Amino acid sequence: MSQTITQFLRITCVVFIGLFVYTNGTTQSTFTVSGYISDGISGETLIGANVYQASDPSQGAITNVYGYYSLTLPEGNYELVYSYLGYSDQRISVNLSKDIKYDIELSQGVVMTEVTISAEEQEKDSNVESTQMGVVALEVQNIKKLPALLGEVDILKTLQLLPGVSSAGEGSSGFYVRGGGPDQNLVLLDEAIVYNTGHLLGFFSVFNADAIKNTTLIKGGMPANYGGRLSSVVDVQMREGNKKNYEAEGGIGLISSRLTFEGPIQKNKSSFLISGRRTYALDLAQPALKGGDFEGTNYYFYDLNAKLNFTLSDKDRLYFSGYFGRDVLLFAQPVRDFQFELPYGNRTATLRWNHLFSDKLFFNLSAIYNDYNLEFSGGQADFTFNLLSGVRDYNLKLDFDYYPNPKHVIKYGANYTYHKLTPNTASASNGETDFESAFEPKYGQEVAFYIQDDWKVNEAFSVNAGLRYSFFNQLGPYTSKLNGQEFDDLEIVETYGGLEPRLSAKYSLSKASSLKGAVTLNNQYIHLASNSSSTLPTDLWVPSTEIVAPQRAVQYALGYFQNFKDNSYEASLEVYYKDLRDQIDYSDDQVPTISEEDEDQFVFGIGRAYGAEFFLRKNYGNLTGWVGYTLSRTERSFTDIEDGRWYPAVYDRRHDISVVANYEIAPRLELGGAFVFGSGRHFTPAESFVFIENKLNILYAGRNTSNLPDYHRLDLSLTYTPKQKKEYQKFKSTWNLSIYNVYNRKNPFFIFYDSDVDNGATSLQAFQVTIFPIIPSISWNFKWNQNPQK
């Protein structure tokens, strides 16, 4: 491994030095204004904020994920506009006769009217102007206004309300994007991969909204700086903490409570944030269980997010962020001396160093650790067992953002990841005999280099051209299953890799409309196969090996983007076709076992997904929200499943509609609503039944040849902010009333069969189970600020 890392660093350094020399060697009559854009109250940097020339909005720049911007213009006097959605613009006059460093703070609280001034167009028409397609950014403050199941604000469930994204099941935070599997989504929390995104079997996501700043979903036209997954990127950034004042935020809900505390370490220079959440529904039930058959049984989950950031100098910033979350299920049946414990969860840690090599060259170095593990242990009397599985990554990332002039934003970088994947390793003992499963962890390293240029060719035409090269090595220690060859530590067993071109382009048809197209190729080296109808924490991540080839996908997308009414409404129509190779599944006679490795039970096939997505969004005014409609088809074909017949994947949704709205009834009263409709999920129906050994059993029809009834549901929420005694009050609170499934639609969660004997006649019946009827919930949220400001 050390050789690979050395090689990796050497190549990266050569590229970096070349570009650095180029950057500094360029003689110019242009100068650069650069800096950070941040929130005026908290000092939090703002991602995706704009700065542009007032007289020519096309001459502008956007802040990166660290809030940094760099705008290079010819020498001269300019009026620059700094803007960000929901914040009031700031205009400054600059005499650009030298490079200028200018950090700026924007103030929140301006209510946008539907009549806009021209200076705001730059920001609002990014939907039309940017080369990116299939990208949606959601701010937590907006997500918090929407209805939530049991009052638990959930970022991933909000993403499911976007076209092209569908839920993995009733109430599930798991999601499928454009016909891709749940493992094909790259979910990042401050750059660390989150392998398991759900608590309580996926009903709640691991993201505590109070600790989150920004969430971006990329479902098509994935830029070259992302890789390793086929279908989407969900890039979640944690908040940095208030740099000016101490602040506390929290809430009490039906099943959990949250508390976040943040503040400056050194005012305006460094800050911290710590945020926790824990459920307590079953803790409260403990007295009732005491003395009963199940005394000691409990279930809870918790999350802990922490972040520190330091401004070391004008050119250097340091961030440390971490996440630790666990689900714990304890089951006890004292009367039979039986108990088991099932803890599982993620841990991530990210250390990032931002450095400005010049005003035009922004550098970030990230060292990331993440793991997900699941342990299942217990026993009865002398018999004990323990089952362990998980994935652990060590990741080093170098990213450069280079801003030579307003026409180009060049990004390049490299990424190295060392993976350790532990299969279901079991140990057991009956008091006399011990058992240890023979499965060893698998090791791999993943390396990627990328470069991309977001190039405004002319007023109408822009292109984002990127190239990513990635490869993956399966590493020893390992004994080949194919020929028995033994591999030592870090010895290369198998190599996969290839170029991943990424191209997207935009052509403006008018000031308010554009055509976009994208072609992307992605490789995926780590896989998750599930033999369940939903996503479960027990689903196992496995690497590419000598037996399992990487998954590959090519996606083609075309889109028409149109804004209306001075950009108050944005609309889009996107069509896509996705060709999937080396897809993984289990055969349909698979039985989970610890006697055979999962990869030996896999079958391999191909897939295709295509569809059209319509999206209409209103960003301003008392009424905001969106309408999304997706028409799509997703199919798979596996030689070992019904001789390769193309069947609709479980991810297939023919029609999917979402209507999301937020209406400000009065200054302190907001109504939120979400309606979803989806074609019924495919399932494999019973076809006939047989009697063998006097037991009735079921023979099934072809895979996914039937549909559950259509899914639809309306959720509503009301957020009330009590009147404050003083204008600048330290303590503020809100009440949120949510009603999930307002009209009590009985959406089926699953189907099961049971035989019925009536007057000696035997018949088989199917039953549907609905788990979420109408569910009202209430939560109380508060915020305390040491020094409240307007």
Partner 1 sequence: MTKHYQIFKVYFVSVTLVLGLSLLMTSCQEEFFLEESVTANQFVVEGYVEAGEGTLPSYVLITQSVPFFDELNPDEFASLFIDNASVAVNDGDKTVQFTKICSDAVPDGPIKDELAMTLGIDFDSIDVDICIYIDLADELTREEGRSYDLTINIGNDQLTATTTIPELVRLDSFSFEEVPGEVIDSLAQLFANIADPEGQTFYRYFTDDDNGILNTAFSSVTDDSTFDGQDFRFPISQADATDVDFDTYGFFNVGDTVTFKWTTIDAAHFKFWDTFEFSLNGQGSPFTSYTRIAGNVEGGFGIWGGYAVQFEELIVDKTE
Q: Which of residues 138-157 bind partner 1 (CB under 8 A)?
A: 150
- Tell me the closest approach of the beta carbon of residue 332 to partner 1, in angstroms: 11
Site for partner 1 in 728-747 (CB under 8 A): 746
| Shortest separation between residue 752's beta carbon and partner 1, angstroms | 4
Q: Which of 14, 752, 786, 787 binds partner 1 (CB under 8 A)?
A: 752
Closest distance of CB 644 from partner 1, Å: 16
- Note whether 332 binds partner 1 by CB under 8 A: no
Measured between alpha carbons, how far is 35 from 46 in angstroms, rounded to an integer?
A: 12
Structure tokens at 398: 């170098």
Angle of CA points 262, 48, 370, to nearest 5°: 55
Give the integer Cα–Cα distance in Å for 152 and 254. Answer: 9
Q: CA neighbours within 13 Å on the CB side: how many for 638? A: 17
Number of residues that bind partner 1 (CB under 8 A): 95
For residues 446 and 599, which CB has a smaller minimum distance to partner 1 in the complex?
599
**Residue 536 CA: distances (Å) to CA of 80, 147, 149, 570, 708:** 51, 25, 19, 37, 21
Q: Which of residues 571-590 bind partner 1 (CB under 8 A)?
A: 588-590
Residues numbered 197 to 226 that lie near partner 1 (CB under 8 A) are 200-201, 203
Nearer to partner 1, 486 or 596 (CB): 596
Handedness of CA 609, 524, 394, 11 (dihedral sign): negative
DSSP letters, 416-469, are EEEEEEEEEEEEEE-SS-EEE--PPPEEEEEEEEEEEEEEE-SSSEEEEEEEEE
* Residue (of 460, 469, 574, 556) closest to 504 by Cα position: 556
Please give the structure tokens belonging to residue 499. Answer: 């170029």
Q: How far is the CB of 16 from partner 1 (least distance, A)?
A: 48
E strand or H helix that includes residue 22: helix 2-25
Six token digits for residue 746: 């009985």
Q: Closest CB to partner 1 among 313 and 688?
A: 688
Considering only residues 247 to 276 of the shown chain, the ones binding partner 1 according to CB under 8 A are 254-255
501 upstream amide cis, omega within 30 of 0: no
Of 314 and 754, which CB lies nearer to partner 1 in the complex structure?
A: 754
255 versus 521: smaller Cβ distance to partner 1: 255
Shortest CB 182 distance to partner 1, Å: 14
State the binding string over 528-567 for partner 1 (x if CB under 8 A, else -).
Answer: ---xxxx-x-x-----------------------------
- The DSSP-derived string for 5-20 is HHHHHHHHHHHHHHHH
Decide: helix, strand or coil at residue 739.
Answer: strand
Q: In what order do the strands lie in the sheet with 76-83?
A: 60-62, 50-53, 76-83, 90-96
Least distance (Å) from partner 1 to the CB of residue 276?
20
Interface stretch with partner 1, choices 15-23, 77-85, 157-165, 432-440 (CB under 8 A)? 432-440
| Nearest approach, Cβ of residue 203 and partner 1 (Å) | 7
Measured from the CB atom, is 482 or 692 closer to partner 1? 692
Q: Which of residues 66-125 bind partner 1 (CB under 8 A)?
A: none
Annotate each residue in 335-354 with x if it binds partner 1 (CB under 8 A) or - if it does not, as one string.
xxxx-x-x------------
Alpha-helical (H) ranges within 116-274 are 121-124, 126-129, 140-143, 155-159
Please report how close the Cβ of residue 573 comes to partner 1 at its closest, in angstroms: 33
Q: How far is the CB of 53 from partner 1 (least distance, A)?
A: 55
Residue whose C-alpha is closest to residue 308's, from 363, 257, 261: 261
Range 454-513, binding partner 1 (CB under 8 A):
none
| Alpha carbon 656 to its chain's center | 20
Which residues 371-410 are close enough to bind partner 1 by CB under 8 A?
376, 378, 380-381, 383, 385, 387
With beta carbons less than 8 A apart as the criterion, state whether 527 and 540 touch: no
Contact between residue 262 and residue 271 where contact means Cβ atoms under 8 Å apart: yes
Q: Which of residues 290-319 bind partner 1 (CB under 8 A)?
A: 293, 297, 299
User: Is the CB of 303 or the CB of 574 nearer to partner 1?
Assistant: 303
Binding to partner 1, residues 11-50 (CB under 8 A): none
Q: Among 46-54, 206-214, 491-499, 700-708, which window interacts with partner 1 (CB under 8 A)?
A: 700-708
Residue 603 interacts with partner 1 (CB under 8 A): yes or no: no
Alpha-carbon distance of 284 to 281, in angstroms, equals: 6
Both tokens assigned to 685: 């129906």
- Residue 142: CB atoms within 10 A of its CB come to 17
- Minimum distance of partner 1 from residue 589's CB (angstroms): 4
State in Å, rounded, how far the first CA of the chain is from the last one. 54
Residue 187 beta carbon to partner 1: minimum distance, rounded to whole angstroms: 21
Least distance in angstroms from the C-beta of 151 to partner 1: 11
C-beta of 243 vs 703, nearer to partner 1: 703
Tokens of 679: 């074609």
Q: Please pick, from the candidates 750, 780, 782, 784, the single residue that binds partner 1 as defined by CB under 8 A.
A: 750
One residue of 483, 595, 643, 790 binding partner 1 per CB under 8 A: 595
Nearest CB to partner 1, comparing residues 515 and 775: 775
Using CB under 8 A as the binding rule, the residues of this chain from 635 to 664 that contact partner 1 are none
**From the CB of 62, what's the least distance to partner 1, in Å?**
42
> Residue 519: which of 503, 507, 531 has the closest Cα?
503
By CB under 8 A, tell whether 594 contacts partner 1: yes
Q: Which residues between 664 and 693 bind partner 1 (CB under 8 A)?
A: 683-693
CA atoms within 13 A on the CB side of 719: 23
The distance of closest approach from Cβ of residue 537 to partner 1 in the complex, given in angstroms and rounded to an integer, is 9
Q: Concatenate the DSSP letters of all residues of 80-129 into one string.
A: EEEE-TTB--EEEEEEESS-EE--EEE-B-PPPPSS--GGGHHHHTHHHH
Contact 573, 617 (CB under 8 A): no
User: Quick one: which of 43, 96, 103 has its CA closest to 356?
Assistant: 103
Nearer to partner 1, 107 or 437 (CB): 437
Backbone φ, ψ for residue 150 (5° rounding): 55, 25
Which of 574, 577, 573 has its CA nearest to residue 555?
577
Name the residue nearer to partner 1 (CB basis): 175 or 340. 340
93 vs 595 by CB, closer to partner 1: 595
Cβ proximity to partner 1, 581 vs 745, nearer residue: 745
The C-alpha atoms of residue 431 and residue 309 are separated, in whole angstroms, by: 52
What is the sign, positive or negative, of the torsion defined by CA atoms of 180, 181, 183, 185? positive
Among 560, 751, 780, 782, binds partner 1 (CB under 8 A): 751
CB of 700 vs partner 1, minimal distance in Å: 5
Of residues 758-777, which lie at the interface with partner 1 (CB under 8 A)?
A: 759-773, 775
Q: Which two tokens stand for residue 371?
A: 């793991």
Q: How far is the CB of 586 from partner 1 (least distance, A)?
A: 8
Q: Which of 381/669 has CB closer to partner 1?
A: 381
Q: Measured from the CB of residue 46, what is the shortest distance to partner 1 in angstroms?
A: 38
Which residue, 533, 632, 524, is CA-closest to 584? 524
Answer yes or no: are the C-beta atoms of 119 and 60 closer than 8 Å: no
Identified binder of partner 1 from the candidate list 334, 477, 497, 621, rule CB under 8 A? 334
- In the complex, minimum distance from the CB of residue 778 to partner 1, in angstroms, rounded to a whole number: 14
Cα Rg, the chain, nearest whole Å: 27
Nearer to partner 1, 691 or 743 (CB): 691
Q: According to CB under 8 A, which one of 46, 273, 329, 391 is a site residue for partner 1?
A: 329
Find the binder of partner 1 among 26, 639, 697, 787 (CB under 8 A).
Answer: 697
